[in-house]
Structure 1
Amino acid sequence: MPHRDSVAWNAMITAYSQLGFRQESLFLFGRMRIAGAQPDHFTLTASLTACAGSSELLYGAKVHALVYVLGYQCHTAVNNSLIDMYGKCLSPTSADKVFEEMGVRNEVSWCSLLFAHVNCSQIDAANEVFNAMPERVTVAWNIMIAGCARHGEVQSCLRLFKEMRASSCEPDQWTLSSLMNSCSESLELQYGFVVHACIIKSGWELAAESKNSILTFYAKLCCQDDAVKMVESFEMLTPVTWNAIIDAYMKSGDTEKALLAFQRVPEKNIISWTTIISGLARYGQGEQALIYFVDMLRNSIRPDDLSLGAVLHACSCLAALGHGKMIHGCVITYGFQACVYVGNGLINMYAKCGDITGSGHAFDEISGKDLVSWNAMLFGLGMHSRANEAFELLEEMVACGAKPDRVTFIGLLMTCSHLGLLEKGQALFKLMETKYGLGREIDHLSCMIDMLGRGGHLLEAKELVKENPGTSTLEALLGVCAAHEEAEIGIISGESLKNLEPMKEMGYVMLSNLYCASGKWKEAEMVRKAMAVNGVKKEPGCSWVEEVVAKVKSSQADGKVECLATPPSSWLSWS
């Protein structure tokens, strides 16, 4: 074009933004400024939308400054775009400030501010905004219900839904899908059935959003038959539907069908790839998860925090340090090293791969550590017998304002158990209840039984099991009895465990070993026969060897050796 006026620039910037090419849209906005064309309110709203979609908070703040320079600070549409941008860039305080300075507000202003707080998980602040709204439109109700659903607060969602029905607002497919998602998050089967019935009664059962949420619900609660029926009922498959189908098969444990569905997806997005990678890692197919991650990169799909977290979990399961380091390279390349979720995955990966120093470096790089970060580092230190460092980290954690939870104490008690720190472990066992008000759960009790048994206090361990009977506590007691060759207590525990878990190999194997250790060969043979009759098989032992230049190999007790994956250096390259 010989002359590009504001209308031409606006058309291009808006088109790129709406098509999802946000960086290109912002690039055009920069070129427009260099060319000397004057931005108007259409230009500003389009560029702010691009900033919101790409989470460019710094760029958005610069555009906000330009709003004042150009005199558009009183323009309602521009202010609404600013609130939306700050909300999507996780800066609710800035959104509040823009809203307070607005002279004229409309429904979009209120809903944008409401979303800003919900998006940042500030439910209490969102409730204040919601209660102050002059008129609660359907979108506002949907935002609140979706926010509560994200946190699994099914009771709050149902209360809001009931209030919405009592008002003049009619629920739509978004309302009902959010309501169904709340049932998925809370794992409430009966509530899900009720909501499904509401969807059918309201006539929204054919809407794609409703069907996707119903499918996700049945898949997450492992209702395989209902999930399959939903899959068969789909006529037109959207990208969201394909992802829901893949997720449904993965959650039901049918990885083969999930992979077949994945291959049929016409346009695979980051969610499709992440669902496959995380599913494979979850079902112990770490090497396949790595292969699909590589394929994702080769298809020019930029990884996000969830996909990186999933592939790091795969590396942890494989104990493949070389592969994990290469994924760490991806993390740095794509700028996720400060992301809490990815950082937590790195801590766990390095710890399980034997590199506790790497765990420490990953821990230090996380700027806003959450409770999972502290717990992951505590577990890592315990795993590597660094008890003193673990106890120092606990003190630092408390000093930073993080409150230890049940998982924290499981890690600490395991550390004490493995290192024979009985007195320290007993003190922590009491401290979790007296100081932090945490109830003693089965995992804590199992750690204590293991700790007492390792220290030779088998009678005390037996009494603790007697007070807290269950599969986990019996397994812990049986384990220490086997280690100390304490046949009398061990045989009683083994028989009880075998009766409680007749299809689990541990009770049979350890009981048989105890009978052998005490010279009761006939009883040992009877246990082995009972194991064969019940169809219980012992899994062969498996060890991992990672060759620096060649491959990761799995060596099993039956002599079988499998090559699992080629080294990542050959397939990870950066552009």
Structure 2
Amino acid sequence: MIKNGYRNDCFVASVLLTLYANFGELGGVEKLFRRIGDKDITAWNSMILAGARPGHGSSHSMQLLQELCQTTLLQIESATWVAVLKSCENESDLVAAFVDIEWKDDSSWSSIIGTYKQNDMELEALGLCNCKEMLNEGVNFTSYSLPLCFSACSQLSAICEGKQLHVLAIKSGYNRDVYVGSSIIDMYAKCGNIEESENVFSEQLEPNEVIFNAMICGYAHHGKAQQAIEVFSKLEKNCVAPNHVTFLALMSACSHAGYVEETLHLFTLMLDKYKIKPKSEYYSSLVDAYGRAGRLEEAYQIVQKDGSESAWRTLLGACRNHNNTEIGEKSAMKMIEMNPSDHAPYVLLSNIYNAEGKWEEAIKCREKMAKIHVKKDPGNSWLV
């Protein structure tokens, strides 16, 4: 391939770098990398990943990262940070590598924050996006980095940090951006301040489906079904097309509130007017609504149409709440047929038998569970 002039083809070279690394030929990887004339960011990422193999530590990847920053004008992207993260023995290594980079622009800050967020490291993402540090470096938050930071606040219920970021978003004008605005609405709702979510929602000049969905999901999160329905009415009046997220949040809110007819209406509206194909989650919400109302026969008919494990599980839970042995047995048998190793149908059915005073059936159910080596996860308590 070198003879045919492919050594300067970065795509081909990157594939070869990965191939050599997979066979443990790190010496060959290094030689090939150095022979590439005009390296692009993909080649650098492949080389950094090659050095991130188990047992090689993070020092080599760190050196490559420094070389990348000091000798090229290439823009570091999220894939680069993912490659470096894989080589780090702990999170502090990645922070140290990032801090050591002399030239950090908006993109590099966004990339590393996104890398942490994608790897479920919200605390690290939030700690790294310290407002003062970024502003001192002359770096601005972007419409990409701000939603990542607000999402980290949501996951950690860090409302104080969220408020600081909200102020910064207002000063920079990004609060008018639909993705930033929706992430602010979501953050306040998940941190327990639905009133502030409402304020942010009302400030949106031209809300689209992303903004409407954030507010509807916020109300659903707080069990405010009626308010969620009212926002949906505004969405329709504004001629904004709802999507699957809209209906899932609405149906979930209505089912938990016991609004059976409203849940069914939304399901029908989704099918007939908006032509959205229902997924298992929608059927589960519908089953949940009927189940909470004690209308188990109707719920059973719905589950037979869908047939998903989640819908059967929802129905079985409703049977447990209403002590319906007949439909409970059918639901449990169907769940066992679909997933024999799942302990839930055995436990729920046993509880139904116990509630009905059918002690022998309950014992047999538990014995059958033990016979096929299905174990129930032990419960935990914070009481001491």
TM-score, normalised to structure 1's length? 0.49
Q: Which amino acid aligns with 2:93?
A: L
Where does residue 189 of structure 1 map in the other structure? none
Q: Distance in 2 between matches of 1:325 and 1:248?
A: 32
Is the 8 Å Cα contact of residues 343 and 365 (structure 1) preserved in structure 2?
Answer: no
Asked whether 1:319 is paired with 2:157, we answer: yes
Where does residue 452 of structure 1 map in the other structure? 290
Where does residue 290 of structure 1 map in the other structure? 126
Within a 5 Å distance, the mapping from 1:26-425 to structure 2 comes to 207-211=39-43, 236-237=64-65, 238-239=68-69, 240=75, 243-248=78-83, 260-265=93-98, 266-267=100-101, 268-282=104-118, 284-294=120-130, 297=133, 300=137, 301-425=139-263
Listed as ranges, the gaps of 5+ residues in structure 2 are: 1-7, 16-34, 70-74, 355-361
Q: Secondary structure at the match of 2:129?
A: helix
Q: Which amino acid aligns with 1:260?
A: D
Is the 8 Å Cα contact of residues 61 and 84 (structure 2) preserved in structure 1?
Answer: no
Q: Secondary structure at the match of 1:438?
A: coil
Residues 236 and 294 (structure 1), Cα distance of their counterparts in 2 relative to 1, 3 Å cut: closer
Asked whether 1:435 is paired with 2:273, we answer: yes
Q: Secondary structure at the match of 1:392?
A: helix
| Cα deviation, residue 513, structure 1 | 4.1
| Cα deviation, residue 491, structure 1 | 4.8
Q: Which amino acid aligns with 2:153?
A: C
Listed as ranges, the gaps of 5+ residues in structure 1 are: 1-171, 181-202, 219-223, 541-556, 561-575
Where does residue 366 of structure 2 map in the other structure? 524
Residues 516 and 418 (structure 1), Cα distance of their counterparts in 2 relative to 1, 3 Å cut: closer
Q: Secondary structure at the match of 1:303?
A: coil
Where does residue 69 of structure 1 map in the other structure? none
Is the 8 Å Cα contact of residues 209 and 240 (structure 2) preserved in structure 1?
Answer: yes
- Deviations along 1:183-205, whole A, 9 cap, x unmatched? xxxxxxxxxxxxxxxxxxxx989
Q: Distance in 2 between matches of 1:262 and 1:208?
A: 24
| Cα deviation, residue 515, structure 1 | 0.8
Question: Which structure: larger Rg?
Answer: 1
Where does residue 89 of structure 1 map in the other structure? none
| Cα deviation, residue 280, structure 1 | 4.0
Residues 339 and 518 (structure 1), Cα distance of their counterparts in 2 relative to 1, 3 Å cut: same
| Cα deviation, residue 344, structure 1 | 0.4
Is the 8 Å Cα contact of residues 485 and 517 (structure 1) preserved in structure 2?
Answer: yes
Where does residue 164 of structure 1 map in the other structure? none
- Deviations along 1:253-276, whole A, 9 cap, x unmatched? x99667634532442544444344
Where does residue 549 of structure 1 map in the other structure? none
Residues 528 and 377 (structure 1), Cα distance of their counterparts in 2 relative to 1, 3 Å cut: farther
Where does residue 31 of structure 2 map in the other structure? none
Aligned-pair Cα RMSD in Å: 4.1
Residues 255 and 277 (structure 1), Cα distance of their counterparts in 2 relative to 1, 3 Å cut: farther
Q: Secondary structure at the match of 1:415?
A: helix
Is the 8 Å Cα contact of residues 360 and 377 (structure 1) preserved in structure 2?
Answer: yes
Where does residue 475 of structure 1 map in the other structure? 313
Q: Distance in 1 between matches of 2:109 and 2:199?
A: 29
Q: Secondary structure at the match of 1:337?
A: helix
Q: Distance in 1 between matches of 2:297 and 2:89?
A: 49
Where does residue 569 of structure 1 map in the other structure? none
Q: Distance in 2 between matches of 1:502 and 1:248?
A: 40
| Cα deviation, residue 234, structure 1 | 11
Q: Distance in 1 between matches of 2:289 and 2:37?
A: 55
Is the 8 Å Cα contact of residues 336 and 345 (structure 2) preserved in structure 1?
Answer: no
Is the 8 Å Cα contact of residues 280 and 286 (structure 1) preserved in structure 2?
Answer: yes
Q: Which amino acid aligns with 2:129?
A: F
Q: Distance in 1 between matches of 2:115 and 2:339?
A: 27
Residues 324 and 499 (structure 1), Cα distance of their counterparts in 2 relative to 1, 3 Å cut: farther
Q: Secondary structure at the match of 1:518?
A: helix
Residues 410 and 249 (structure 1), Cα distance of their counterparts in 2 relative to 1, 3 Å cut: farther
Q: Which amino acid aligns with 1:244?
A: A
Residues 317 and 480 (structure 1), Cα distance of their counterparts in 2 relative to 1, 3 Å cut: farther
| Cα deviation, residue 212, structure 1 | 6.1
Q: Distance in 1 between matches of 2:280 and 2:242?
A: 17
Q: Distance in 2 between matches of 1:279 and 1:559?
A: 37
Q: Distance in 2 between matches of 1:406 and 1:364?
A: 23
Q: Distance in 1 between matches of 2:37 and 2:266?
A: 53
Is the 8 Å Cα contact of residues 242 and 261 (structure 1) preserved in structure 2?
Answer: no
Residues 241 and 393 (structure 1), Cα distance of their counterparts in 2 relative to 1, 3 Å cut: closer
Residues 255 and 322 (structure 1), Cα distance of their counterparts in 2 relative to 1, 3 Å cut: farther
Is the 8 Å Cα contact of residues 284 and 317 (structure 1) preserved in structure 2?
Answer: no
Q: Distance in 1 between matches of 2:351 and 2:284?
A: 25
- Deviations along 1:522-556, whole A, 9 cap, x unmatched? 53365478344xxx74685xxxxxxxxxxxxxxxx
Q: Which amino acid aligns with 1:415?
A: A
Is the 8 Å Cα contact of residues 316 and 348 (structure 2) preserved in structure 1?
Answer: no
From 504, 508, 511, the counterpart of 2:343: 508
Q: Which amino acid aligns with 1:366?
A: Q
**Count of matched residue pairs:** 331
Q: Distance in 1 between matches of 2:124 and 2:383?
A: 23
Is the 8 Å Cα contact of residues 416 and 424 (structure 1) preserved in structure 2?
Answer: yes
Is the 8 Å Cα contact of residues 76 and 108 (structure 2) preserved in structure 1?
Answer: no
Residues 355 and 234 (structure 1), Cα distance of their counterparts in 2 relative to 1, 3 Å cut: closer
Q: Distance in 2 between matches of 1:484 and 1:306?
A: 48
| Cα deviation, residue 348, structure 1 | 0.7
